Amino acid sequence: MPTYRVNYDHLGAPEQVQLNVPTVEHSDSDRDLRDEIARRLAERVLPHAELAINHDDHRNVEEKLYKAYELKITHIERL
């Protein structure tokens, strides 16, 4: 399982975390990887975010987290 260093802002405060993210099967999409990283980040820092993530609309996971919790991923680096 690859490890990523993720920089993010939550309510304007910069933070950094390392996350283990499983390889997204059957996908060549950068969007799928970023969505999985955003899900893992939400599990770590916003355990109550499942409702916002599962809300059925046109937004991707990053956009949902920013709209609901002002959490924005600013940089992702594979370690």
Q: Which pLDDT belongs to residue 22?
A: 83
**This prediction's pTM:** 0.83
pLDDT tens figures, 7-66? 999 988 999 999 999 876 655 688 889 999 999 999 999 888 888 888 888 899 999 999
HEC states along 5-74?
EEEEEECCEEEEEEEECCCCCCCCCHHHHHHHHHHHHHHHHCCCCHHHHHCCCCCCHHHHHHHHHCEEEE
pLDDT tens figures, 19-30? 999 876 655 688
**């355990």: which residue's tokens?**
47
Position 76 confidence tier, pLDDT thresholds 50, 70, 90: very high
